[in-house]
Amino acid sequence: MISSKCCNGDEGDEHEEEERRVKANDPEHNEKFQYANNRIKTSKYNILTFLPVNLFEQFQRVANAYFLCLLILQLIPEISSLSWFTTIVPLMVVFTITAVKDATDDCFRHKSDNQVNNRQAEVLIDGRLQNEKWMNVRPGDIIKLENNTFVAADLLLLSSSEPHGLCYIETAELDGETNLKVRQALPVTSELGADIRRLAEFDGVVVCEPPNNKLDKFTGVLFWKNNRYSLNNEQMLLRGCVLRNTGWCFGMVIFAGPDTKLMQNSGRTKFKRTSIDRLMNTLVLWIFGFLVCMGIILAIGNSIWEQQVGAHFRIYLYWSEVVNSSVFSGFLTFWSYVIILNSVVPISLYVSVEVIRLGHSYFINWDRKMYYPKKDIPAEVRTTTLNEELGQVEYIFSDKTGTITQNIMTFNKCSINGKTYGDVYDDLGWKTEINEKTVPVDFSFNPLADRKFQFYDHSLIESIKLGDSMVHEFFRLLSLCHTVMSEEKNAGELIYQVQSPDEGALVTAARNFGFIFKSRTPETITVEEMGKLVTYQLLAILDFNNIRKRMSVIVQTPDGQIKLYCKGADTVLFERLHPSNEELMYLTSDHLEEFAGEGLRTLALAYKNLTEEHFKEWFKILQEANTSLDSRNEHLAAAYEEIEKDMMLLGATAIEDKLQEGVTETIASLSLANIKIWVLTGDKQETAMNIGYSCHMLTDTMNEIFIVAGHTVTEVREELRKAKEHLFGQSKDLSNGHVFCEKMQESKQGSVLEETVTGDYALVINGHSLAHALEADLENEFVEVACMCKTVICCRVTPLQKAQVVELVKKHRKAVTLAIGDGANDISMIKSAHIGIGISGEEGMQAVLASDYSFAQFRYLKRLLLVHGRWSYFRMCKFLCYFFYKNFSFTLVHFWFGFFCGFSAQTVYDQWFITLFNIVYASLPVLAMGLFDQIALDTSYWTAINRLFILGSIAVYFAILFAMHSDGIFVIFPNHFPFVGNARNSLSQISVWLVILLTTVVSVMPVITFRFLKEDLNPTLTDQVRKLQKARRKQKPLQNYMRRVYRRNSRRSAYAFSHQEGFGELITSGKNM
């Protein structure tokens, strides 16, 4: 039994849960197991825990802990020449700013939690329905859901308003798919209906698997009235789903709150640290080591000086207690210099970094070029600590549906009887590009046409109006061969409920061209053909599955003719055509290749006339197959095969799975930046590859596309071995995968091997093969092959596998990874990657809530990485160099002064200057460069903002200087500010100003000269890239990706059909009518 951890709603002690046992309408029974209630909690603090927990987190930083120790040392008068306030003031400023930022972030989490927890649900309590907050719902409660409402917890469907206990749900929050899915209650519970009394008396016990994150799997048993009923995922409504096209339904809570599959997929939020963070901690440790070295050198100097010279000075510098030992004097001096030289360890570094990151985050939030006006969705930074990491991304892991694509299918082109339709030609017969000015086909003749549907080839509608029999038969097939359900809400308002968007696009196309699917029963299909209502007898549905790659219907026309209509993959359908179709098949094949080149999803269409005798004989075979006890599926497949042969080809359809705007250009730009993109999708191989061609991740010009589809470890290892041999050429060393592994490990650097691979390669791997590839003995080989390919597409992967792939690349490549998705099935991947991005829009907000960044369109990824990411990384590096430079220049003055003051730990500057240097005088210029620096010449530093900050800092310095040396402050604090008028007298001397000017010129001129010479003689990589880009623009543009180059002897099929098995049987049984 799968084990899982479960905790109660109050976060009590965790315990292992091997199975879940829930009894309906019995809170006392269920409370014994301490199952979690429906409250969710993503916040970190509360009022009582904020201060201790936040302080504990802040003291985990090396610099903060160091300054706490330093503060304690400054309280010891024997070793401190500085007052304690020189340390505590900066430390309090840093702690306060960080605490305010953390508290603000957590307030938003509390607000989000409260919004969800306080939603209302109708719960059956004491025999009647009562409104209850979501957070108070517990396992065993029975809940009523209304149409278009969110499911509050993971429920066992008991009954619904639809016949046979059916209900329809939208799972966009879970998997990003907007097409409806069907769930069906057990017949024994569907009889409960909406009878509150019977529902209140329901006392069934569900024994099922413990909480887990598998969205597509559920196993359990219902015990009720001394009977046992098997349960699976078809009876479950998961939290995050929305009830659609169902008046009401009742469900029993099985999992609540953190135990729901939605929250189990969310996982625990990992603390993400950037490489800059790790570098800073390392630098602080090295700087601390440098500080210790300086202290030791000065302490040794003090011991020597005290022994040889210091005794003569005690007449002038009286010691309250004479230190006779020069060694002990050096020991005290060491700690004194640790205090004086403390500024070399940057107390304000972390807070300065946070301020810069916050500023960069606002730049992203305010970026109008990442704002999506159609949905009024701006880009949003949800984690402010990762901005510079965006500029170092090497691998992108992307979901497909809803992320790269819009999950919207449109009927784009078709081929009917050897003629293509869908292109637009000018008066001279030249093909023209479709744009906003192109006039679409006028469907006003059809009152039931879908107004959103647009088609631009007027010749197709003319063929229909002229009565072309093949064109009529083509659209008749589309209006009959499907599993769509129709609903006519108002007169002229026809709503289609589709199981897959592909079918929706095809039936909608037939509807607009005058063949309108109106309604169906288990025995009939009613179609309005060019204004005439025709009812066909539905004799059989030969259902679709992934092996058959086709579906068929057998209907009888009103005049008694029996016809079979079939649609499916061209590679499958062409094998079953009548020999007389050979010429038409080759012509249609050329059209299919053209459609495939444009990235369209294709289906071939065929029909067959059947005699009554032939059908009756075959129907007997079908009934025998249906009633067979052994190998039922195999017998059905054989029966289908018997009738689906010698068909007549009608043509082919081409559907566009609409990519999000700018996807192709974004992927091309990211590839030029040497960023590798992997697509991890739950879709079928054909669908995923089709999208790969659409967005040019896969092209016909690639040297090879490796497809790994083995079902065993041995098969997968063999396929990976063959891929290696192809990548590196035939070699004796490569004949053994283990030998190759050893060679790869010896090289240690995978990037070296990647450079040895010439040409473009792609890897496509299925979920069942990936499960083996992720095992310990194969993961090395999989990563090696995958990382040498330009494109990797993983199909039929589970949410857990998505996360495992990301972790695998992080482990073996030590590269910065980014994951982008839009559904709850992407959350584990988003949280596993260094950077997680959620697409916000129509597909729900679960991925957004778990992400570090969010925006509305995939195309904004280009600007996020190549503009904001690069600038953030560049600015942060410049900032760190500038920051450490100013700290070292300030601190080394004290080190040098030690040689002139007898190593006596005296300071050059007054205490207030030391206190204010980092947090006031030198903070704004370095922050300005970290926030506003641009990647250009050094003159870009002198922007208006930089001038303001630099000159402003100087002005603040003089203002504070004159204030501290004024009469007024002396009167208030005579012991702390005794030097009245010192600043005024000093700065009135011309020699002081000449020294300042001379020092500035001597310091700046060599640097400026060096940088201008370097710019001219040794340009940076940025300048070289700019020159290269200018040279490329002058060259002849690259040939179009779409050119027809044959990689193999056979033609590539563009078949893709996102349909599921089982809907045909559901229709013929009448359960969903």
pLDDT confidence of residue 699: 84
For 321, the 3-state DSSP assignment is coil
What single letter denotes the amino acid at residue 1029? Answer: Q
Going by C-alpha positions, the residue among 615, 607, 480, 466 that lies closest to residue 534 is 480
CA distances from 267 to 167, 257, 411, 541, 1026 (A): 29, 13, 40, 43, 44
CA distances from 863 to 132, 374, 392, 605 (A): 45, 19, 14, 43
Residue pLDDT, tens place only, 114-160: 888 899 999 999 888 999 999 999 999 999 999 889 999 999 999 99
Q: Which helix (H) or strand (E) holds 143?
A: strand 142-146
Alpha-carbon distance 1054 to 570, whole Å? 8
Query: Hey, which residues are catalytic here?
Result: 399
Residue 272 DSSP code: P
Both tokens assigned to 172:
């966009």
The answer to whether the beta carbons of residues 10 and 1 sit under 8 Å apart is no
- For β-strands 142-146 and 405-416, DSSP reports them as unpaired
- Which of left, alpha, beta for 342 (phi over 0: left; psi -120 to 50: alpha)? alpha
Both tokens assigned to 1024:
């070289």
Alpha-carbon distance 759 to 761, whole Å? 7
Residues 367, 371, 377, 382: is their CA dihedral positive or negative? negative
Tell me the β-bridge partners of 554: 540, 564
- For β-strands 853-855 and 835-839, DSSP reports them as parallel
- Chain CA centroid to CA 887, Å: 40
CA distances from 329 to 310, 455, 908, 1031 (A): 11, 92, 21, 68
Alpha-carbon distance 327 to 338, whole Å? 17
Q: Which helix (H) or strand (E) holds 397?
A: strand 393-398
Q: What share of the chain is helix, strand, coil (3-state, %, to 5)?
A: 45, 20, 35
**What would the DSSP string read from start to end of 537-566?**
EEEEEE---TTT-EEEEEEE-TTS-EEEEE
Going by C-alpha positions, the residue among 849, 852, 823 that lies closest to residue 238 is 823
Both tokens assigned to 703:
């040297």
CA distances from 380 to 186, 223, 391, 455 (A): 44, 49, 17, 37
pLDDT confidence of residue 435: 80
The answer to whether the beta carbons of residues 838 and 173 sit under 8 Å apart is no
Q: How far apart are the first and last CA of the chain?
A: 39
Alpha-carbon distance 912 to 1018, whole Å? 44
Both tokens assigned to 1009:
């000269």
- Burial label, 496 (beta-carbon count in 10 A; 0-12, 13-18, 19+): middle
- Quickly count: other Cβ atoms within 10 Å of residue 605's Cβ: 27
**What would the DSSP string read from start to end of 104-142?**
HHHHHHHHHHHHHHT-EEEEEETTEEEEEEGGG--TT-E
Residue pLDDT, tens place only, 659-691: 888 999 999 999 989 899 999 987 778 878 888
Tell me the β-bridge partners of 236: 156
- Nearby residues of 24 by Cβ (< 8 Å), 6 or more positions away: 140, 142, 202, 203, 204, 205, 206, 252
- Burial label, 28 (beta-carbon count in 10 A; 0-12, 13-18, 19+): exposed
The radius of gyration of the chain's CA atoms, rounded to the nearest angstrom, is 37
881-886, Cβ contacts within 8 angstroms, sequence gap of 24 or more: 882/925, 882/926, 882/929, 882/930, 883/346, 883/349, 883/352, 883/926, 884/283, 884/287, 884/346, 886/922, 886/926
pTM of the model: 0.76
Residue 777 DSSP code: T
pLDDT confidence of residue 982: 83
Both tokens assigned to 452:
């959103």
Q: Quick one: CA torsion of 375, 379, 381, 386, rounded to 10 degrees?
A: 140
Q: Which helix (H) or strand (E) holds 853?
A: strand 853-855
pLDDT confidence of residue 841: 62
- Quickly count: other Cβ atoms within 10 Å of residue 655's Cβ: 26
Going by C-alpha positions, the residue among 918, 866, 401 that lies closest to residue 673 is 866
Q: Where are the alpha helices (DSSP H) in 568-611?
A: 570-573, 582-597
Angle ∠(1050,404,456) on CA atoms, nearest 5: 70
**Backbone φ and ψ of 773, nearest 5°:** -65, -25
Going by C-alpha positions, the residue among 793, 787, 789 that lies closest to residue 769 is 793
- Chain CA centroid to CA 94, Å: 33
The answer to whether the beta carbons of residues 734 and 724 sit under 8 Å apart is yes
- For β-strands 248-255 and 142-146, DSSP reports them as antiparallel
- Quickly count: other Cβ atoms within 10 Å of residue 482's Cβ: 31
What single letter denotes the amino acid at residue 225? Answer: K
- For β-strands 532-542 and 550-556, DSSP reports them as antiparallel
What single letter denotes the amino acid at residue 204? Answer: G
pLDDT confidence of residue 746: 40
CA distances from 262 to 214, 525, 1025 (A): 9, 39, 46
Stretches where the chain sits below pLDDT 50 are 1-14, 730-752, 936-941, 1036-1050
pLDDT confidence of residue 861: 95
Tell me the β-bridge partners of 534: 527
CA distances from 533 to 443, 481, 487, 508 (A): 19, 17, 16, 17
For 1064, the 3-state DSSP assignment is helix
- Nearby residues of 228 by Cβ (< 8 Å), 6 or more positions away: 221, 222
Alpha-carbon distance 679 to 792, whole Å? 6
What single letter denotes the amino acid at residue 232? Answer: N
- Chain CA centroid to CA 581, Å: 47
- Chain CA centroid to CA 2, Å: 28
- Nearby residues of 740 by Cβ (< 8 Å), 6 or more positions away: 721, 724, 733, 734, 781
- Nearby residues of 810 by Cβ (< 8 Å), 6 or more positions away: 817, 832, 833, 834
Tell me the β-bridge partners of 556: 537, 562
pLDDT confidence of residue 583: 93
Starting at the earlier edge strand, list the strands of the sheet with 227-231.
Answer: 20-23, 205-208, 220-224, 227-231
